[in-house]
Amino acid sequence: MGHVREGAMAADGSVSKVVLISSVAALGGFLFGYDTAVINGAVGALASTFQASDTAIGLTVSSALLGSAVGAFVGGQMADRLGRIRVMVVASILFSVSTVGSGLAFGLVDLSLWRLVGGIAVGIASVIAPAYIAEIAPAHLRGRLGSLQQLAIVTGIFAALLVDYGIAAGAGSAENPYWFGLSAWRWMLLSELPVAVAYGVGALMIPESPRYLVARRQEAKALTVLRTVLGRGAEAKMVEIRRTLSTEDHGHLKDLRGRFGLLPIVWMGIGLSVFQQFVGINVIFYYSSVLWQAVGFSEQNSLIITVITSVTNIVTTFIAIATVDRFGRKPLLIIGSVGMALTLGTMAFVFGSAPLDASGAPVLQGSAGTLALVAANLYVFCFGMSWGPVVWVLLGEMFNNRIRAQALALAGSAQWVANFLVSATFPSLRTAGLGIAYGLYTAAAAASLFFVVFFIRETKGKELEDM
């Protein structure tokens, strides 16, 4: 049956329309990446502008992540009640408000509050896009289309870092005045506004999820959407969706309960989310410019290195898009875990064995600096072709219709809590020693390998109704 449905879609369904619809939904991922990375270029300026300690800066940077945990948790419930499209619009409004507030902040306290609001928007976008794409995409394209979320995230990171570099170069430094007398770092944060508005406008132009429409007894609209993406397979898919929804209650948090507190599949989703963050990937994108400055590179060279790293992330995401439906999800995760463990281990060794200057910062002498740069970019390569996109694909498709929104919300929330823990602790770990920090991330990468081998099942090619 699965091959028949795929064949029907291939025959007269519009692949271009599905890609366009999924791309608009993934704009939330672009904002997700942009919002979380744009602070990178402003970190040093914030510390000097507000005379803040490492701990205060760590909490300010990571305050958005607490908001993201809240947004991810409520996003699933909102999506089931209001629909996927309305929730995207809500996220767009929150992004816009947060951007203006952050750019015009008076101090670290209100900046943290505005970033918290933006974080709620990021959290909502992080669960709504993979759920929507999984529900709109045909099974044989779902891995590639689901990977658009990660492609959008890493493209957003690249755009934010490029804008940071351009503004810093134009002003001479992130602390210097730029347009209309506002500091350059403020313009970095304000630069997100046009995309935030575009996300809301774009969301109003794409169709609602057919599974949500059937659940709300709007079957005529659902059939219209399915005909757009499946062609002749629309009627058969309607029957399947109707059958699965008729035998399932609307999802509630209590439906996630199991023998060990939660259903095993929910623990798997939480595990994927937590390991994706515990390998330390966001340290590279939140603190990399400060990190490279700490080991001897200039501010502008550090920003250039960070931009190059983000380009590496984008290129490798295309590798995942090209292979995830061919090789499967599990093999890519295994390859990524091995590669990350090796490259993070190299970085831990280089930083841990480097001599220290008078301030206690490591000094990378001779080939050590080159080795650290190569290892960092290879690490991003390994993450970008595996754990970055594949986790989003799995979270969007691994849960059945009844629990998808609630389980994705819980897994997404856990991801942001893990992200917060990594980001908030890194400034202190950096002070204690970069070798220690990267050693911990190496251990997490090694543990992620065992987790995938023993607990993750392959979902390649399965229909959502068969999960």
Q: Give residue 104's identity as a one-letter amino acid code.
A: L
pLDDT of the residue at 296? 67
pLDDT of the residue at 265? 87
Q: How far is CA 339 from CA 319, 336, 378, 391, in A?
A: 15, 5, 8, 16
The C-alpha atoms of residue 207 and residue 294 are separated, in whole angstroms, by: 48
- Domain regions of the chain by residue span: 15-206, 254-466
Q: Give residue 111's identity as a one-letter amino acid code.
A: L
DSSP string for 125-139: HHHHHHHHHHHHS-G
Residue 442 and residue 344 in contact, taking contact as beta carbons nearer than 8 Å: yes
Which pLDDT tens digits describe the chain residue by residue (467 residues)?
344 344 444 434 467 778 888 888 888 889 888 887 788 777 778 877 787 777 787 778 778 888 888 898 888 788 888 889 999 999 999 999 999 999 998 888 899 999 999 999 988 988 888 888 878 777 677 777 777 877 888 889 889 888 988 898 888 877 788 888 888 889 999 999 999 999 999 999 988 888 888 888 888 888 888 887 777 777 877 887 777 776 555 556 666 776 778 888 889 999 999 999 999 887 776 566 666 766 667 767 777 777 787 788 788 888 888 888 788 888 999 999 999 999 999 989 988 887 777 666 677 777 877 788 788 889 989 998 899 888 988 887 888 777 777 888 888 888 888 988 887 788 778 777 788 888 999 999 999 999 999 988 876 656 555 55
Quick one: fold of 15-206? Growth Hormone; Chain: A; (1.20.1250)
pLDDT of the residue at 193? 94
The answer to whether 15-206 and 254-466 have equal CATH topology is yes
- What residues are paired with 362 via a beta bridge? 356
pLDDT of the residue at 358? 66
Question: Which residues are within 8 A (CB) of 227 and not within 5 positions of it... i.e. 6 or more apart?
Answer: 234
The owner of tokens 């109003």 is: 204
Residue 30 and residue 195 in contact, taking contact as beta carbons nearer than 8 Å: yes
Give me the CATH code for the 254-466 domain, please: 1.20.1250.20
Q: Give residue 328's identity as a one-letter amino acid code.
A: G
pLDDT of the residue at 246? 66
pLDDT of the residue at 10? 40
Residue 136 and residue 397 in contact, taking contact as beta carbons nearer than 8 Å: no
Model's pTM, two decimal places? Answer: 0.73
Among 196, 193, 192, residue whose Cα is nearest residue 92:
196
The C-alpha atoms of residue 164 and residue 44 are separated, in whole angstroms, by: 12
Looking at 53-97, which runs of residues are DSSP E strands? Answer: none
